[in-house]
Structure 1
Amino acid sequence: MKHWAGAVALAMLAGCVSMDQMRSAGPAQVYSSQKPAAAVAECIKVSWANVQLFGDVADVFMENGKAGDFTVYTTESEYFADVSGKGGATTINFYAKPGAKVVDQRGAVVATCL
């Protein structure tokens, strides 16, 4: 059991490092919205999980960060969006791993949530 917990922790850490590397390289697309950050993040999460749009895809998750901030991401963080709300405005930074499929489709879905 102890080894399993260590493996899970390493897998989570590997995902975080990958996301941090992608963040330092800059977003693939940047969006803004007047909607609350929580509503935008939930819309992205639900839309990215739509099998009719993307076929049999990875799971989609959402984490709360600092007050008003969310990260929506797919399994292995192939795609993720940092959603940040400040002063009535929401900024969405969309990231995709190099070579990821359907990047434009995922970005277009983000745009529908604005």
Structure 2
Amino acid sequence: MRAAMLLGTALVLAGCASSTMNQARLGAPHKTFTSAKAEPLVAECIQFGWQDEAVFGVDASGYLDAGPNGGATVSTRDAEYFADVRAEAGGTVVKFYTLKDDALAQRRMAALATCL
């Protein structure tokens, strides 16, 4: 019973994050990057970088999921910051979205940029 409640709570929270991301995707990304590297390598690198507690402290989180239209999405807790990573002709395109343009968004972008 307890496991079912935990699973239900996780699904509700995931639904909230998805609607936040879908709403953000209706607008333009905060920044778009390109890379000659393969999509899986870029996505995994971003995830790893965003999990660095030395840089992000208690905000260190990075979740890697399938993207909405192929590719991958790397997101943080509550989807405050996320990146859609997709292979396109000649490389990979990364679209970075943020709910607020703050110092943490700048650090997330800097970590992302090291993966290109």
Superposition TM-score tier, normalisation by shorter sequence:
0.7 to 0.9
Deviations along 1:16-62, whole A, 9 cap, x unmatched? 11000111122111000000000000110001111111122242110
Amino acid at match of 1:35: K
Which residue does 1:91 correspond to in 2? 93
- Do the aligned partners of 1:29 and 1:94 also contact (CA within 8 Å) in 2? yes
**2-side partners of 1:99 and 1:87: how far apart?**
30
Mark the runs of 5 or more structure 1 residues left unpaired by the alignment. Answer: none
Q: In the TM superposition, what are the counterparts of 1:25-44 in structure 2 within 5 Å?
A: 25-44=27-46
Amino acid at match of 2:83: A
Which residue does 1:75 correspond to in 2? 77
**2-side partners of 1:58 and 1:47: how far apart?**
9
Given the superposition, is the C-alpha separation of residues 51 and 4 from structure 1 closer, same or farther in structure 2, using an over 3 Å criterion?
closer
Deviations along 1:44-98, whole A, 9 cap, x unmatched? 0001111111122242110123796010011111111000012331000001112
Range with bigger deviation, 19-28 or 5-14: 5-14
Which residue does 2:104 correspond to in 1? 102
Amino acid at match of 1:57: D
Identical-residue share of aligned pairs (%): 33
Q: 1:57 aligns with which of 51, 56, 59?
A: 59
Given the superposition, is the C-alpha separation of residues 56 and 10 from structure 1 closer, same or farther in structure 2, using an over 3 Å criterion?
closer
Give, in angstroms, the shift of residue 101 of structure 1: 4.6
The TM-score, its normalising length taken from structure 2, stands at: 0.85
Q: Any idea what SS the aligned residue of 2:63 has?
A: strand
Mark the runs of 5 or more structure 2 residues left unpaired by the alignment. Answer: none
Q: Any idea what SS the aligned residue of 2:75 has?
A: strand
Q: RMSD of aligned C-alpha atoms? A: 2.1
Given the superposition, is the C-alpha separation of residues 99 and 6 from structure 1 closer, same or farther in structure 2, using an over 3 Å criterion?
same
- Do the aligned partners of 1:94 and 1:107 also contact (CA within 8 Å) in 2? yes
